[in-house]
Each structure stands twice: as structure tokens, then as C-alpha cells.
Amino acid sequence: MASTSRRALRLLSLLGSRRQWPLRELATRLDVSERTVRRDIETLRQLDYPITTVHGPDGGYRLGAGHTLPPLLFDDEQALAVAVALQTAPSTVFGLGDDAARALAALEQVMPAPLRASMQSLRLTRLQNYWEFPAPPIDPTALTAVGAAVRHRHVLITETLRADGSRPEPGDDDFLPARRVEPHHLVVWAGRWYLVAYDLADHEWRVRRVDRLHPRPTTHRFTARELPGEDLAQFVMRSHDRGDTPAAWPCTGSARLDLPAGVVARWAPGGSVVEHLDADHCRLTLGAWSWAGIAGILATFDAELTDLRPPELVQAGRRLAHRWATMTETGDSDDPTRLS
């Protein structure tokens, strides 16, 4: 009986590792007859695992999705991978942090002692990355609605929300009418969720922050379109009008750059805003823990900077320029660390 149980668990692990398995290959992997494999599959089905039979020359068995969540089986490597993923899961959805902690506790409770020790050795401590702008969490209802529309290819009606999550009313300066879009992809970048969609009003591809949308699902289906460009990630990163707003920092400033908005948007820190001015110029608004920090980030673009705001940012730039000039003027000319 113990041998049968171990074999059934191994069979379950195999079924979960690949979309479909031929009967002969399962029998070879388990080193048993095909009849024994059929019997073990019936045992798993009695335990409510949704194993379907695929007929035909390329048929076999497939582990499908059931109406309830049956017990799951992980090998040691998979369990450790899940434990690390739960600890590093980004808290960009309301309640995800608590749910991840509960799932991690449940996983740890059923682990054998050696594996539990390995997992505890990988216990992580979350640290604030001061150079990564924090992302606001998303209402899971909105995220689910957008994800379902993408999956089922249903037209979505979206309304734009304010940065604080409130909905502008008609007559407000920031009110925008609802848009009908074809949602194609969800993309996560710099801790933020973006929707890549085709706007049916102006017939243009758009990138929108999901946390700034109030979605209204429809049942109208659409046919998938050819995406703009070959690289979806590059399209998102280079879209300057994706609905970003400056994140909360002690200091926030901006400058006019002699670079196209698409170039700056690709390399600007998450949580910054890129405004298109013309084909060769844009305005970048960003924050940091100091004015010198903002000036330093702006300097990384290696382009002409004008119209810096506010005055504190201009003063910080002058102080940095003086420090760099001092560094280049002092030191021995034979010193290999001297800047030239």
C-alpha cells in the first residue's frame, strides 16, 4: 500500500509538470505496466484530481482544472521556489501581503523538518529601496475585471481616476469621458500594472495604469490585432503618456531635456512623469530624497537641461557642478584616479 501511495504521488507530480503525457511514457517513467498506470489514475480521480483522457494517436492523460482546489504536490525544489516567491511577492494588490504570509505559513506547516529548515534559511527581510518609487496597490476587483477582459477578448469601458483613486465628475477640469478599448495585454513594470489596449475612438494603441482605471466589462468580443512593434515591453516603457504620476518624495522637481519623450520614458525611474513637448524635447518630472538626488538622475541622461524647476533644484545643480569641478582641478596629474 505504501508503495502504491508513493507511486500515485509521483504520478501526480509528473502530470503537474507537463501539459500532457502519453500512457506509455508514464509507464516507462514509473517503471510499471500501463495497466498499473491506469489504476493509479483512477485512484487519483477518486481523490478529486481532474485527470482527463485525451484520445487519438497523440493522446494520453492531462491534469486539468477542477471545480475545487485539490491537495497539491510539490517536490522539494518546487516547494522552496514557492516559498521564496511568496516572500518576494510585490504588494501591488490590496491584501496580497497578508494572503502571501498566510499561504507561506500553511506551506511551512506541512513541510518535512529538513525542508522546513532549508526554507527558514531563505527567510527574507523586506527592505525599502530608496531609489525605486513605491507603487500604489490596486483594487483586486478592478484587476480581475481587466484580466478577464484580456483573457476573453471582451471590449472594456474605462474611466480615468485621479491619483488618489477618486472619480472626477462631469464639469471638473480633470474629467475625461469614458473610453471603449480592446484590452490586449497586462504588463507589470517598475512595480506597476499597465494595460496595453487599442482605443476604438481614436484608433490608437494606448498604455494605461490599471490603478488609474475604473473598468466596466462588456460582453462584446473583439479580434486580436497585431501589436505595435515586436517588443511589448519596449512599447510600454517608451510610452510617455501611460498615466504615470509623480510618487511622493521629500523633493520633486522637473527639467526640459533635449531628448525625445520615448527615449526618456524608457530610462526614467518608475513613478516619474515624461511630458512630450515636440519631436526632440520633453519634460521630466521626478522625485528623490534630496534635490541633489534629482539633479544626479537628470545628469545621467547626458543631454542639455533647461528650465529647471523649482529654484532649489537649480541651486543643487550648481553645487554638484562645483564639486565636480573641484574634483577635476585637484590631485596629482600622475594619479590614475584623477578625472580628466
Domain boundaries, position 31: 2-63
Residue that finishes a domain, picked among 209, 237, 265: 237
pLDDT in tens, 283-328: 999 999 899 999 999 999 999 999 999 999 999 999 999 988 888 6
Same domain, 32 and 81: no
pLDDT of residue 192: 80
pLDDT band at 127 (very low <50, low <70, confident <90, very high): very low
pLDDT of residue 181: 98
Q: Does residue 129 form part of some domain?
A: no
Query: How far is 218 from 96, CA to CA, in rounded Å?
Result: 27
* Residue 59 belongs to domain with CATH number: 1.10.10.10
Q: Does residue 264 form part of some domain?
A: yes
Q: Does residue 316 form part of some domain?
A: yes
Same domain, 232 and 255: no
Q: Mean pLDDT over all residues of the chain?
A: 83
pLDDT of residue 293: 94
Q: Does residue 135 form part of some domain?
A: no
pLDDT of residue 335: 54
pLDDT in tens, 210-258: 989 999 999 999 999 998 876 888 888 888 888 887 777 899 999 999 9
> Which residue did the predictor score with more confidence, 137 or 25?
25
Residue that finishes a domain, picked among 213, 237, 261: 237
Residue that finishes a domain, picked among 204, 237, 270: 237
Name the residue among 188, 204, 202, 201 with its Cα closest to residue 237.
188
Q: Does residue 69 form part of some domain?
A: no
pLDDT in tens, 50-104: 888 988 777 789 887 665 556 666 777 778 778 877 776 656 666 677 777 777 8
Same domain, 9 and 87: no
**Percent of the chain whose pLDDT exceeds 90:** 37
Q: Does residue 126 form part of some domain?
A: no
Same domain, 98 and 42: no
Name 198's bridge partners.
182, 205
| Res 336 pLDDT > 60 | no
Count of domains observed in the chain: 4
pLDDT of residue 242: 87
pLDDT of residue 337: 46
Name the residue among 247, 243, 248, 277 with its Cα closest to residue 260.
277
Same domain, 232 and 271: no
Same domain, 25 and 104: no
pLDDT in tens, 151-179: 899 999 999 998 888 899 999 988 999 99
Same domain, 57 and 80: no
Q: Does residue 43 form part of some domain?
A: yes
| Res 197 pLDDT > 60 | yes
User: Which phi and psi angles does 282 have, rounded to 5°?
Assistant: -150, 170
pLDDT of residue 10: 81
pLDDT in tens, 263-292: 998 888 877 889 999 999 999 999 998 999
Instruction: Please compute the mean of the pLDDT values over residues 176-201 and round it to a whole number.
Output: 90
